[in-house]
């Protein structure tokens, strides 16, 4: 994926564990691909919650804070990309507040689509906000909810929110976990010795040596205390709406997502793409790394040899971008380098996971030709992205999406390639084995929930 598409974030929580902060930050390393703008953790020792966060990667968080000075038996962690709320330290999570039930911290993955209306209502009532994050609105709603205890207040508050959320809270002695009724975003439960662990992806459990138990169900609410774990259903929807883009791009292939192997589903999409969009080519290459698994599936089903034709540089930041040159072209050339010995005099099938704007794929196609490729055929392991997402993905506005105004033939001409083929919506859903349980609104415009009054996809703040 070359068009700067981002997922909102990743969350992790550990309760009743040893070296909690160290394990949380280790888990955040595994989830780093879900957010690179900020990272943070909150930990409780039973008396007080302390929060530390920083802009940038998890490594920056560890450089700025000595984790060995934090004692605690429970904590939560967060890595963030901003979809709602500006990219500032104030919006970094976890967010900690004090209210009538004492201290409470939250880490949130998703996008609350009626946040703007609720915020306007609260501001009219005199509420004061310190961030532009929809997660802070959630905390305000909890604080003003009439309930017998904090757990009941959280359950009542989250029923007022539309959109997507995987939420992990800690008070001084309890962890609460909630997942929206559609199950948009993945969230799983594990045991690590005597400790309970929740995380956005199971790859975090692998790193920690935790044993995966199950997915936290859509509409499920967990209360975890020293006495154990209590589960209940706080909301029931008439369907599930798992984000199918988790398989296409966001999740790591070594994670179990929505109770299925991401690697296996992604390979199936590549094989299905080969059936639907065959090509007469000499080699198959991927745009690394997110498309590699699908490209392997495409090569296997088509019988065309898979080769590594593009080498990715994983260590490029923004430091070397020269604003006097073509910034996007510099980014692509810094990030990828074609291998001439593989590409020269070859008809090349390039498998990519998706196209958003298509401008950087155009640059990449030219680089392949300059390296000696005779023909360039693009195959996309997903349908055309023609509609914005409002449930936690940082899609551009509809007008910026190439497929919203151009046909595949027109996009192929814009890219300067011999052919372009997409996976069908039906074929994509078939690869999951339970297509009716997935949200594919960015492809088919079928939104399962309220998308909010502000659909411009601009950031707040």
For residue 40, the Cα-to-chain-centroid distance in whole angstroms is: 17
Q: Which two tokens stand for residue 317?
A: 């930041």
Residues in Cβ contact with 421 at an 8 Å cutoff, skipping those fewer than 6 apart: 273, 276, 277, 279, 377, 378, 379, 380, 408
Burial class (CB in 10 A: 0-12, 13-18, 19+), 90: middle
The H-or-E segment that residue 432 falls in is helix 425-432
CA 417, CA 369: separation in Å to the nearest integer? 9
Is 166 an annotated catalytic residue? no
Token digits of residue 273: 């793409």
Residue pointed to by tokens 């390296």: 371
Radius of gyration of the chain (CA): 22
CA–CA distance, 400 with 5 (Å, rounded to integer) = 12
Q: How far apart are CA 427 and CA 50, in angstroms?
A: 48
9, 166, 203, 243: the catalytic one is 9
H/E stretch holding 421 reads strand 419-422
CA distances to 242, 269, 305, 346, 435 from 391, in Å: 10, 23, 38, 41, 18
Helix (H, G, I), strand (E, B) or coil at 309: coil
CA-CA distance, 13 to 58, in Å (whole number)? 16
Q: Among 78, 86, 77, which residue's Cα sits nearest to residue 131?
A: 86
DSSP state of 91: G
Tokens linked to 282:
């000499």
Tokens of 126: 């005199």
Closest-CA residue to 345 (of 255, 436, 420, 282)? 282
Burial of 227: CB neighbours in 10 Å, binned 0-12, 13-18, 19+: exposed
**Which residues are designated catalytic?**
9
């Amino acid at each position: 994926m070359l068009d700067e598409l981002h997922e909102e974030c990743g969350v992790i929580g550990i309760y009743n564990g040893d070296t909690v902060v160290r394990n949380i930050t280790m888990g955040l390393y595994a989830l780093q691909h879900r957010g690179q703008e900020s990272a943070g953790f909150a930990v409780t020792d039973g008396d007080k919650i302390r929060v530390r966060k920083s802009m940038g990667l998890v490594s920056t968080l560890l450089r700025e804070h000595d984790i060995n000075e934090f004692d605690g038996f429970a904590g939560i962690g967060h890595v963030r990309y901003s979809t709602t709320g500006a990219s500032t330290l104030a919006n970094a999570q976890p967010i900690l507040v004090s209210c009538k039930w004492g201290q409470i911290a939250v880490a949130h993955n998703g996008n609350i689509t009626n946040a703007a209306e609720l915020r306007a209502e609260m501001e009219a009532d005199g509420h004061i906000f310190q961030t532009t994050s929809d997660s802070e609105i959630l905390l305000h709603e909890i604080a003003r909810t009439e309930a017998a205890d904090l757990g009941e207040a959280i359950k009542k508050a989250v029923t007022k929110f539309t959109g997507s959320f995987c939420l992990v809270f800690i008070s001084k002695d309890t962890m609460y976990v909630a997942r929206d009724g559609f199950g948009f975003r993945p969230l799983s439960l594990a045991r690590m010795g005597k400790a309970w662990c929740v995380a956005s992806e199971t790859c975090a459990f692998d790193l920690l040596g935790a044993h995966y138990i199950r997915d936290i169900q859509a509409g499920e609410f967990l209360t975890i205390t020293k006495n154990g774990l209590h589960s209940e259903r706080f909301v029931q929807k008439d369907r599930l709406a798992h984000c199918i883009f988790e398989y296409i791009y966001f999740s790591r292939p070594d994670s179990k997502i929505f109770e299925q192997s991401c690697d296996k589903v992604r390979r199936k999409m590549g094989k299905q793409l080969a059936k639907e969009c065959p090509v007469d080519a000499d080699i198959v290459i991927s745009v690394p790394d997110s498309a590699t698994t699908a490209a392997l599936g495409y090569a296997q089903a088509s019988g065309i040899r898979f080769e590594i034709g593009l080498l990715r540089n994983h260590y490029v930041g923004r430091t070397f971008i020269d604003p006097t040159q073509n910034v996007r072209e510099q980014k692509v050339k810094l990030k990828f380098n074609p291998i001439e010995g593989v590409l020269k005099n070859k008809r090349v099938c390039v498998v990519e996971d998706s196209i958003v704007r298509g401008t950087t794929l155009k640059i990449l196609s030219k680089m392949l030709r300059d390296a000696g490729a005779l023909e360039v055929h693009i195959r996309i392991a997903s349908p055309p992205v023609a509609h914005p997402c409002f449930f936690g993905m940082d899609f551009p506005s509809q007008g910026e999406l190439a497929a919203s105004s151009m046909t595949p033939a027109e996009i192929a001409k814009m890219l300067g390639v011999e052919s372009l083929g997409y996976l069908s919506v039906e074929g994509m859903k078939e690869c999951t084995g339970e297509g009716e349980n997935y949200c594919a609104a960015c492809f088919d415009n079928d939104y399962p929930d309220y998308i909010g009054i502000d659909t411009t996809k601009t950031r707040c703040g």
